[in-house]
Every structure is written in C-alpha cells, then in structure tokens.
Amino acid sequence: MSAGCAERSEPEPAEQSVRPARIFVVQDVRSTNSYEFVGQVEAAQSIDLSFEVSGPLAQLPVREGQTVRRGEVVAALDTKDFELAVREAQVQLDLAQHDLERKERVLAQRGIARSVVDDARSLFELQRVRLEQARESLTDSRLVAPFDAYVARRYVDKHVNMREGDHVLRLHDLHQLLVVASVPESLLATATTEQVVSTVAQFDFIPTESFDLTYHENRGEADTVAQTYEVSWSMARPERWNILPGMTATIRVELRDPGDPVASLVPPSALVGGADDSLFVWIYDAETQLIARRDVITGPPTAKGVPVLDGLSGGDLIVATGASQLQPGMRVRPLGKVPSK
C-alpha cells in the first residue's frame, strides 16, 4: 500500500441547501350537519302607547312605517282643559298660602286657636298636591317615543275622544332584531351549544349576504299539532339594509356531529407515500427550521382536503408543497409568512 493511499480519508458530505416550501397549520375538524328553517323577523322590543288621561286627540303627527327619534312627540290630546286645571290649581294654592300666612300672624298675636292654623296648613298642602296632579295630567296629555323607534301601527286617527288606556300607536325598537323559527323537538332535545358551528340568516332579496345570529331563547311549550318549539335568535340590524319585522328569512344552522371523531384536515400535497404503502407528513420546527417525519392514518379525501384520523393535532405545522422531495434532517425555508397556530 502506498503512502498516498494510506493518507486518503472519507470525504465529508456537503451540507444540504435549505429548501423553500409552503407551511400549513393543521386545524382540527369534525363532520357537520346543516339544517334550514323558515323564520320571521320580529322586533326585540315592542310597546303599545296609550294615554293615562282622557280627552280629544288633537295631534297624531306620525304615520305607519315612519322612524321616530327618542323623545319626539308622537301623539297629543287637546290641552285646553288641562292647562285650565293647572291655572285653577295654582290659584287655589296661592289663596291657601295667603290664608295660612294670615292665620299664622293672628296666631302669633294669640287671636285664634292653633287648630285653625293647622287646618289652614293642611289645606295648603292639599292644594299643592292638586297642582302637582294637574301638571302631571298636562304632561300625560302628550305621548313621546321612549326610544328610537319604528311606527308599526296606528290604532286611531285624529279628532277622536280617547279614554285612559286606549292604544294609540305600536312602536318597535329596531336596534336589535329577533328571527323566530319553529324547530323540531328532536333537534332541540339533542343539540347542544357546543355543537353549533354557525347560525346565519339569509333573505331572498339579499342573496349574496348572510347575517350572523345569536341564540336568544325558546318557547317553553311545544306546538300541540306540529310538535315544534319556537326558537328565537338575535340579529344586529344592518345599516345598509332596511330589515323590518314581518320579513321572512332562511335560517341556516350548522352543527358538529358528536358521534364522529376529531380529524385534522390537510392538503393532499402534504402527504408522502412510504415504502410499505404507509403515509407520512413532514413536521416543521419553526425554531430550528428542521423537518421530521411523522406517520399518519387518513380517511377518505374530501373537497376541502384529506382528513387525518391519527398522527396529527391541531396547531401542528407541516410542509404543504414539495414534501416528496425532502429528506429527514433537511432545513426548510417557509415561502411567505408562517401561519399562526
């Protein structure tokens, strides 16, 4: 053996270059079931306004379908009799006050009995109460909107004699809407809030938009014929569209299937075939940029991806493209921003 051959050593492998690849964050999914119901829009709050006093209706400045602001006068009675009652009560109070002051002066001179002054003071207090009542009746002769409202119905017209308690207007508070639908008892009994993936409302006249719904309540008794329960969902009133009570909506509810196992959905390009017909993916370490092989068990492919039944968890980072060209221990440079877990 020559000296040249003895000094020859094994060549060191060259460091592999960093491979670019797209990184995918794994999301846990479960199969879902979709349900559709026909619902109707209702106001979250509705009131019927009525007067607490009687008299001829003099003003009714609003119309059905009109929007009114909080504090705006929506109806008023003829105030002439109420104003006269206030003036009369004021005069009676002034007379009672003068009488009380005169008798108190006489009492100070011991010219009358104290009981006479006490009676005058009681009359003065009584007249003050009557003045307060007359002023309150004058105030009650006007109806104002208690909130920003939509005039749903006018029960009367002007120039009619109103009695105390007669309905004048129905107002809807449209800041928050309710969408109500009949739900089968079987679904209401078995579904839980944890299963709800999404609940939206759609309208035929706005087919391209959906509106998020939040469960509000359900009626405690079932319909005796259909065996359904009325369920209501709250919906914020959109600024762009004039959604009103009485309109029809389609409610779409998507529920997770509690019987199916949790799966991790991955793109087909992330799966690599092994020598024994097994499948694996490359797990990406964001700190070291190294990859590691992990065997997986998959289910039937879907339009949204391939479900991985075992081997992955939500939040895992895997190589989504070029996986078949990688080797254990390689470094990977993510294309674009690494998705957040």
Q: For position 66, which CATH number holds?
A: 2.40.50.100
What's CA 176's distance to the chain center, in Å? 7
Show pLDDT as tens, one digit a residue, over the chain (341 residues).
444 444 444 444 334 568 888 888 887 766 678 899 999 999 988 999 999 999 999 999 999 989 899 999 999 999 999 999 999 999 999 999 999 999 989 988 887 889 999 999 999 999 999 999 999 999 999 999 998 899 999 999 888 999 999 999 999 998 889 999 999 988 888 888 878 888 999 999 998 999 999 999 988 788 878 889 999 999 998 888 888 888 999 999 988 776 665 667 788 888 888 777 789 999 988 888 899 998 888 888 877 788 888 888 778 898 988 888 888 888 888 887 766 65
User: Are residues 191 and 120 part of one domain?
Assistant: no
List the CATH number of the domain containing 134.
1.10.287.470
CA distances to 218, 227, 232 from 183, rounded to whole Å, are 9, 9, 10
Domain count, the chain: 4
Q: Where do runs of H (alpha helix) occur along 20-113? A: 80-108
User: Are residues 214 and 130 part of one domain?
Assistant: no
φ, ψ of residue 80 in degrees (nearest 5): -60, -50
User: Are residues 323 and 183 part of one domain?
Assistant: no
Tokens 């120039």 belong to 159
Q: Which domain holds residue 182?
A: 32-44+174-256
User: Are residues 188 and 39 part of one domain?
Assistant: yes
Q: Which strand (E) or helix (H) includes residue 118?
A: helix 114-140
Q: Could you say which of 256, 278, 293 is where a domain stops?
A: 256
